[in-house]
Structure 1
Amino acid sequence: MIFTPIADSAKAETASIPPCSKEGIAKYVQQRLNEGIVEIPAESYFKNPPEIKSNEEGVLETSLEVKYGYNSIAGCPVYLRSYNGQLVGPTLRVKPENTINIKLINNLPVNPRNKPLEDDNIPHDFNTTNFHTHGLHVSPKEFSDNVLVSIIPNSNPYPISIKLPKGHPGGTHWYHPHKHGSTAIQVSSGMEGAILVEDQLDQDLQDHHVKAEKIFVFQQISYDDNGKLEDYKGFGFGQGASNWSLSKRRTTINGQVIPVIKMQSGEVQRWRLIHGGIRETIQLGLEKKADGTRVKLHEIAVDGITLGKVDSWDKLELEPGYRSDVLVQAPEVFTSEPEEYRLVDKATTAENSLLKVAEDQHTLARVLVYSKNTLESLSVLFDNGKPSSELLSILKEARTRNTGEHGYLRNIEDGEIKGHQEIAFNIFSRPGLSFTINGKSFTSKDPQPVSLKLGTADEWRLMSGSANHPFHVHVNPFQYTRKDPQGGNETIWRDTLMVKANEPVTIRSRYEDFDGDFLLHCHILDHEDQGMMKLVSIKK
């Protein structure tokens, strides 16, 4: 028998698989997972996004150019809207009282629409943009975190200037466009980046030999078989599943598909996790490839605010807009070859998933742990895999600094509550789908915004009558009581929270420092673009 023609035929068939097709992506993923340790190319290793820091005068100066960029995802050439032509924006690193000055330049083509829309909640003007700092406690007015402005293509550079207040807590935040009608298209193209606010906690961790810091911007970048994104077809449903899952696109990390992370035996790294996607829940876990042994993810901050303790998770839930800072200690390795672990997005049941459709397990990154230890000293923040008393003391001090220096993070007591707010997400057929909050779709001229008074606190009740919706509110975070890893109640601060269908949630929020108009909305951003958003107004 002659086997050569069969082999040639198989090679030809493999070579003919279009790289942007479902089959092409699956082939690329399998190749990445099967790469031998000595065969890993340099471009496969994990890379933090490029970084821009504030100067000695406390000012961060930069430009962000919004334009189409040529890149590659899983071997597919893509041509997508971007910041500076890249798949992820640069990290902005600042400190409390710093000023972020950004020249936002919109060099996208002119929008093709030439007549007014009958309904502003139809996705539109995909090349008009603006800028939102998700999580920062800053002013929503003028040239600060003002998402009610529109930056059209070929307009003059837009001067953003955002001043962080004194005592702004250190933490992990992010930025992305927020122009109603085009937000989902732009964020799903990769237009997002990290904002890191440094404080004493950062120095304390470094002093205790937590030297390596990795920034994970998890993205769910959509594109068609031509590597482009020009419509909402990828955001819908079909065949009992989301179009995202049917497309077989993969969650990327800083634009990379299954990057390789290197750690040394016993090393402790700080991982800053940002869910910048809009299509799926991420149930994050770290497991040994050989036998599934789990490595704890030691959470020290949620949505950019220090917990003051450590929550050690086998599996960490991330919904769109969520952030989590975790410390990861590499397991001990005594072999000459590194041991491989997998950072995975665990399978999620339909009931617990973002879009109420079952989600399969996927590998997000490979983690190689080496036995040879060239570190100057291993961290003393863990004792036999558990947080040490020294780490707990550092975190408690950080929490005390945050509540002491900045009043809006002190606990909201019963006697402080002045009013009650209710937010109800719902989707109606009228005909077609209407995405609503409190029964109405968004209008920028809302005659009944959520009206709040500066210097007061309210209790809020969040509800969803249909589907699951991540609630996000700008400017001020809120207190929420969740279950800790041991099943007990703990009250934490956050700015984004999954609200499940028919499971009301109670939160408390205090309005400090800043008046003005801003937004709350569902962070499934195509829901927001179609009307699931509401104006908020704080008056003095």
Structure 2
Amino acid sequence: MVAEQLFGGLAGLFIVRGELDEIPEIKAAQEEWMVLQDFSIDDRGRRSSSAHMSLMMGREGNVIAVNGRVNPNISLPTNGLLRLRILNASPSRFYRLALEDHSFYQIATDGNSLSEPIEVNELLLTPGQRADVLIRGDKESGQYRLLNLPYDRGSMGMMGGGMMGGGGMMGRNDRDEPIALATLHYESVVESLPLPTKLTSISALSEPQTVRWFELNHGMSPAVGMAFLINGEPYSGDRLHTQVKLNTVEDWELANTGVMDHPFHIHGNAFQVISRNGTPESLLAWRDTVLVKRGETVRIRIPFRDFAGKTVYHCHVLDHEDLGMMGNLMINA
């Protein structure tokens, strides 16, 4: 099962360089990467087993690691720029990131460049999402904590008044206290380096030829019992759930009618977010994973223009994927 492998630590980064990396300010920045993972470890230092309700919730561990280490130190050049390439490699945990007394200047989403840096004080990464950010070394010398702030992604217990809620292995990161993931500290003084003002151009997609509807929920399935569903059905490996044509553009309406947030991911086909609950999305960006909050409908626009053949789409809370929230996609040439 995919979630079990990832919860055991099977994750890593591919760094693909391109046009964004040649922008002078970015090329001169100090570069670091951060693979965010969590693990469930018992008192003897062994991996803990998971109850079925933990799988339904989406497992979260009691230990969080950054590049395999707990709360590592990361240097930040005084006057310079630090570029962080961040991957959420946890199977279920959401990371709501904030850096004490510093802003993030986001330059890429899911490996795709933005058109200009976007200043944010917090950065929410769902499982599978990636982000590239710049941090300015313009504060007083010292140490600053990179924090994971509380986030409530919902609970299966919401169906019954919250009796199944809770933290830790039960899957909710709504504890009151932030968690320190890493500590940034100022080191060598470098020549002052400004932020880039422009990155790469992004064009809005043409109007779609087809609009499809996908309902994300959970319920009982005759074959597997309690399962996570897309359009009322759990995953079946021997059927094609959706077929599209190569060199077409489609809009997919993703409606989350359940009680937990679901990050929706498509393999090999980046898309643009068009709207949330009918409100146009302000940021034009390429993504391959989008958060669909409970009670929310997100419209995405997908150009099927690079690859023909079979692939999949799924919830990137990987316990939910393994429990049925996935579909096979055939792109016909």
Q: TM-score, normalised by structure 2?
A: 0.85
| Map of 2:316 onto structure 1 | 523
Are residues 234 and 203 of structure 1, via their aligned partners in 2, closer, same or farther at CA, if it must alter by over 3 Å? farther
| 1:495–1:525 Cα change, 3 Å | same
CA drift of 1:266 comes to 1.5
Structure ranking higher on relative contact order (CA contacts 8 Å, 6+ apart): 2
Matches within 5 A, 1:169-248: 182-205=1-24, 209-210=28-29, 212-229=30-47, 231-233=49-51, 236=54, 244=60
The Cα shift of 1:224 comes to 3.9
Q: 1:392 aligns with which of 197, 200, 207?
A: 197
Structure 1 residues 114-129: aligned runs within 5 Å: none
2:220 is aligned to 429
1:339 matched to which residue of 2? 142
Deviation at 1:413, TM superposition (A): 2.0
- C-alpha separation in 2, matches of 1:506 and 1:457: 13
The structure whose residues are more often helix, as a share, is 1
- How many percent identity over aligned positions? 28
AA in 2 matched with 1:516 = G
SS in 2 for 1:494: coil
Query: Could you tell me which residue of structure 2 aligns to residue 265 of structure 1?
Result: 78
Write 1 or 2 for the structure with the bigger share of strand. 2
Distance 1:206 1:489 in 2: 26
Closer/same/farther in 2, CA of residues 223 and 306 from structure 1, 3 Å limit: same
Aligned equivalents of 2:316, 2:59: Cα separation in 1: 18
**Closer, same or farther in 2 for the Cα pair 1:502/1:355, shift >3 Å?**
farther
How many residues are aligned here?
313
The answer to whether the 8 Å contact 1:482/1:492 transfers is no
Residue of 230, 237, 255 corresponding to 2:68: 255
Select the residue among 189, 192, 199 that pairs with 1:378: 192
Aligned position for 1:538: 331
Alpha-carbon spacing, 1:252–1:482, altered in 2? closer, same or farther (3 Å): farther
Q: Which runs of 5+ in 1 are unaligned?
A: 1-181, 288-293, 383-390, 404-409
Do the aligned partners of residues 252 and 451 (structure 1) sit closer, same or farther apart at CA in structure 2, a change above 3 Å counting?
A: same
**Which AA in structure 2 matches 1:378?**
S
Q: Which residue of 2 aligns with 1:369?
A: 186
Separation (CA, whole Å) in 1 of partners of 2:186 and 2:45:
35
1:453-489 superposed Cα distances (whole Å, 9 cap, x missing partner): 0000101100122121110011111101479xxx982
- Code of the aligned partner of 2:143: E
Q: How far off its partner does 1:355 sit?
A: 5.3
TM-score (norm 1): 0.54
- State the secondary structure of the residue aligned to 1:197: coil
Change over 3 Å in CA distance of 1:230–1:535 after alignment to 2: farther
The code of the aligned residue for 1:253 comes to V
SS of the residue 2:15 aligns to: strand
Asked if 2 retains the 8 angstrom alpha-carbon contact of 1:233 and 1:243, the reply is no
Q: Looking at CA atoms only, which structure, 1 or 2, has the larger radius of gyration? A: 1
CA distance in 2, matches of 1:233, 1:203: 48
Structure 2: distance between partners of 1:315 and 1:500: 17
CA contact (8 A) 1:481 1:490 kept: no
Cα distance change on mapping 1:421 and 1:411 into 2, 3 Å: same
In structure 2, how many angstroms separate the alpha carbons of the residues matched to 1:237 and 1:443? 19
Distance 1:281 1:191 in 2: 18
Letter in 1 for 2:186: V
Q: Are 2:128 and 1:321 aligned?
A: yes
Q: What are the superposed Cα offsets for residues 282-336 of structure 1, whole Å, 9 maximum, x if unpaired? A: 111110xxxxxx2010001111111111110111111111111001112333xxx
> Pick from 243, 248, 251: which aligns with 1:456?
248
